[in-house]
Amino acid sequence: MLIDTYGRVATDLRVSLTDRCNLRCTYCMPEEGLRWLAKPDLLSDEEIVRLVRVAVTRLGITEVRFTGGEPLLRPGLVSVVERCAALEPRPRTSLTTNGIGLKRTAAALKAAGLDRVNVSLDTLRPDVFRTLTRRDRHQDVLDGLAAAHEAGLTPVKVNSVLMPGLNDDEAPDLLAWAVEHGYELRFIEQMPLDAQHGWKRDGMITAVDILASLRTRFTLTAEDEDARGSAPAERWSVDGGPHRVGVIASVTRPFCRACDRTRLTADGQVRTCLFAREETDLRGALRSGASDEEIAGIWKTAMWGKKAGSGLDDPAFLQPDRPMSAIGG
């Protein structure tokens, strides 16, 4: 098991497949100038599958989520998913994506064994989308979402980040749209993980703001705390159900005590937390001939050192060197 000194057990693995992306969301990446990981430093498809196999067969991982950067940009994605979904015991598999290109690949991903997708969409307005992501791809995301739903990659979840002055008035519209299309919407508080280190605590839209905005149009009823388990989202039923909405309040209501995550970057580093400042190299071990047992041992040691919390509440909090796109969000 991947247990830490606080008794938490990691069963959920986030695998970043690339640090590259075809969007430039303002809260994530600068317009230009971000340096990409060098090709030889990236794990190959075989190396990724081997590390996932070690995690699933030796370390108790039951859930594998592929992310990035934009994971749909990885040419070998379908095959990686297929090989990971074929592991015994079979892990649950999901993908976090901006949805561009999903129209083309949704059916193949489903056939490969992918269970679900989370698609990120912050706005229903094409002009705001262009400002927020610096690209004109709004319709591609909507098409990708529809294709995922049709392919049965359900429940399709939609992740939205609200940015002041841009889309902070859109929470109720986004929820009405999600309910209409059968998507499960989750708002994510903006976190200090942008490459340009521009995050400001007093400039962010908080869970309290989001809920107040939603309540201007909907009746929200909090779900039982027990039902939440280790899920980062707090959830509310909408107008008596069955539709739900979630808020991931990593900044104002951190959920570190129930965290069950371990992370693998595209260049083969284990991270115990999104906000960790330390990483543990698995790629080096892998490439110097370590056995599965040795790799599992290194991973266990890394997780044993997981800190109690993200440190966001500490005035001395220092943003990690790597941005969200390189860690794998």
- Please calculate the CA angle 22-280-306 and round it to the nearest 5 degrees: 100
Closest to ligand SF4 by CB, 24 or 125: 24
Quick check: 8 and 306 in contact, CB under 8 A?
Answer: yes
What's the CA gap between 195 and 230, in Å, rounded? 28
In the window 57-76, what residues touch ligand SAM (CB under 6 A)?
A: 67-68, 70
Q: 3-class secondary structure for 125-174?
A: CHHHHHHHHCCCCHHHHHHHHHHHHHHCCCCCEEEECCCCCCCCCCHHHH
159 binds ligand SAM (CB under 6 A): yes
Give strand ranges (E) for the chain.
2-3, 9-10, 12-16, 63-67, 92-97, 116-120, 157-160, 184-188, 220-222, 234-238, 244-248, 261-264, 269-271, 280-281
What's the CA gap between 246 and 125, in Å, rounded? 21
Binder of ligand SAM out of 18, 93, 94, 98 (CB under 6 A): 98
The nearest distance, CB 77 to ligand SAM, in angstroms, is 12
Closest to ligand SAM by CB, 167 or 190: 190
The nearest distance, CB 298 to ligand SAM, in angstroms, is 25
Q: Using CB distances below 5 to 8 A depending on partner kind, what does residue 24 bind out of ligand SAM, ligand SF4, none?
A: ligand SF4
Number of residues in contact with ligand SAM, rule: CB under 6 A? 20
| Pick from 266, 327, 323, 325: nearest CA to 69 | 325
| Interface contacts to ligand SF4, rule CB under 6 A | 21, 23-25, 28-29, 68-70, 98, 120, 325
Cα dihedral 162, 73, 99, 214 in deg (nearest 10): -20
Binder of ligand SAM out of 2, 13, 15, 21 (CB under 6 A): 21
In the window 183-242, what residues touch ligand SAM (CB under 6 A)?
A: 188, 190-191, 193-194
The nearest distance, CB 236 to ligand SF4, in angstroms, is 24
Amino acid making up residue 128: V
* Both structure tokens of 312: 């966001």
144 binds ligand SAM (CB under 6 A): no
Closest to ligand SF4 by CB, 133 or 310: 133
Q: Using CB distances below 5 to 8 A depending on partner kind, what does residue 303 bind out of ligand SAM, ligand SF4, none?
A: none
Q: Using CB distances below 5 to 8 A depending on partner kind, what does residue 67 bind out of ligand SAM, ligand SF4, none?
A: ligand SAM
Amino acid making up residue 7: G
Q: Which part of the chain contacts ligand SAM (CB under 6 A), choosing from 45-53, 90-98, 211-219, 287-295?
A: 90-98
Cα dihedral 266, 268, 270, 276 in deg (nearest 10): -50
Q: Which part of the chain contacts ligand SAM (CB under 6 A), choosing from 40-48, 209-217, 267-275, 321-329?
A: 321-329
Residue numbers at the binding site for ligand SAM (CB under 6 A): 21, 27-28, 67-68, 70, 96-98, 120, 159, 161, 188, 190-191, 193-194, 324-325, 329
